[in-house]
Amino acid sequence: MASEKKAASRASAAKASTNGKVVAAEPTFYETVESNFERAAACVDYPRGLLDQIKVCNSVYMVRFPVRIGNDIQVFTGWRVQHSHHRLPTKGGIRYADHVSEDEVMALAALMTYKCAIVDVPFGGAKGGIKFNPKNYTEEQIERITRRYTMELIRRNCIGPAVDVPAPDYGTGPREMAWIADTYQAVSTGQIDSLACVTGKPLTQGGINGRTQATGRGLYFGVREALSTVEDAKLFGLTPGLDGKRVIVQGLGNVGYWAAKNLQQGGAVIVGIAEYEGGIFDRNGLDVDEVFNHRKSTGSILNFKNAKNYKNGNALLEVECDILVPAALENQINASNAANIKTRMIAEGANGPVSAGAEQILLKRGIHIIPDAYLNAGGVTVSYFEWLKNLSHVRFGRLGKRADESSYTRIVAAVESLTGKSFSELERKVLVHGADEADYVDSGLEETMIEAYRQVKYAYHSNRKVKDLRTASFVVAIDKVAKSYMELGIFP
């Protein structure tokens, strides 16, 4: 019945008209992901049955649970979708928002499968969410909701270090992950690896240095790699390197902030920032930290010094720039505004910010996209590092940092003795520094994003059927997941 209503709604939307012309209905988020999958499936040589197994969501759980809010009882609806079990545990974030739906969670879970495959993280894809706006609830009430949702996951065996490992997403953060871990540990007594049931935790609760900035930092590495050579940059009609590239970022949340900050530090000029309350633009460049602090003190990014205000933040998406970073929600660039986008490169920081219909319009106009399935995989990459840390019960760098510094100190002393030159204290400090956890995490993230882009680029150039980077990334993912199933002997 629900599917019939959805089909009827879409049919009605398809009949809508503008200036006498029929306007095609936008596909849902899940339909967009499936459309992207099918484009890639047409470029590979695997049996249809195997492709269908890769494509479908293996498990979809919907839960409804009561929570006391003030003097009333409210019933909340939540989901946990495990898209693929070709690798275990499954992995994916939990989001809290009014717009959370089964379709959205299924789409995000599917993307997680492909994302993990592209960056060689040994997880199947999953996702979860609760339909409510946390801004309308107190911290105590959000904690109650989170802990009750966790219990619902435990009852259905949908959480555990070897089963399904959630992480933060839109509307959640380290605080909620700490509550989830605590609830799981209270029920799973005696399980030595229980902290690995969830990632994105605070450092004091088994978290890892670098997880907060991981997605935005990974986006920076990906964009930098895409512009690293003349040949690569030519795809986007740009010159190599980030220096002087004009960037507009939609969303100043966790992903948008760290993406903008790292791109700025890499030499790009952040000329525009959009948020739900509006947007600001300054062709001479915006200081990301100053904008962030301005919003923190005033409650809005608007009226920032020397910047032009945009009452409608989404209008900034149509302002000319070199790199456009949509880092908010899905379907922000769609058939209604795709023809007005004036950028050379779209770097997807959010999940599904460009609809399937919009992508075809953009590609015809020569605007190429670095896709979300690759570009925002920095979060799950560093979550993987946190999971490994929790399983090994040791902080990265703890065993080797001092030994490395002793070796480097002896090498520096030998160089000084042989050359007769003495290094300054600052130079010596840099030269003898031994890698700590943050260094290892950043190094691992950089290596992952560079290697993954090279694989996507190879698929783009080597497969004549592949016409864009999104299809190339899905081809890489399908190939890796298909080989996993074939190696298990499930498919010949």
Structural tokens at position 431: 């030269």
d(CA 42, CA 23): 27
Coil vs helix vs strand at 291: helix
127: annotated active-site residue:
yes
Count of positions (residues) in the chain: 492
Q: Determine the Cα–Cα distance for residues 215 and 207; give it in Å rounded to an integer.
A: 15
Identify the residue whose tokens are 């992950």: 177
Nearest to 391 by CA among 147, 144, 196, 185: 196
B/e letters for 47-80, b = 16+ CB within 10 Å, e = fewer, are eeebbebbbebbbebebeeebebeeeeeebebbb
Residues 310 and 212: their CA atoms lie apart, in Å, by 29
Q: Name residue 355's amino acid.
A: S
Helix (H) or strand (E) holding 97: strand 90-97
Using the Cα atoms of residue 378, residue 112, residue 350 and residue 76 in order, give the sign of their dihedral.
negative
Alpha helix stretches (DSSP H) within 42-173:
48-55, 102-118, 139-155
User: DSSP letters along 293-343, please?
Assistant: HHHHHHSSSTT-TTPEEESSGGGGGGS--SEEEE-S-TTSB-TTTGGG---
> How far is residue 162 from each of residues 200, 236, 379, measured CA to CA in Å?
17, 41, 19
Distance of CA 117 to the CA centre of its chain: 14
Bond into 371 cis (ω within 30): no
Catalytic option among 127, 131, 201, 245? 127
Residues with a catalytic annotation lie at 127
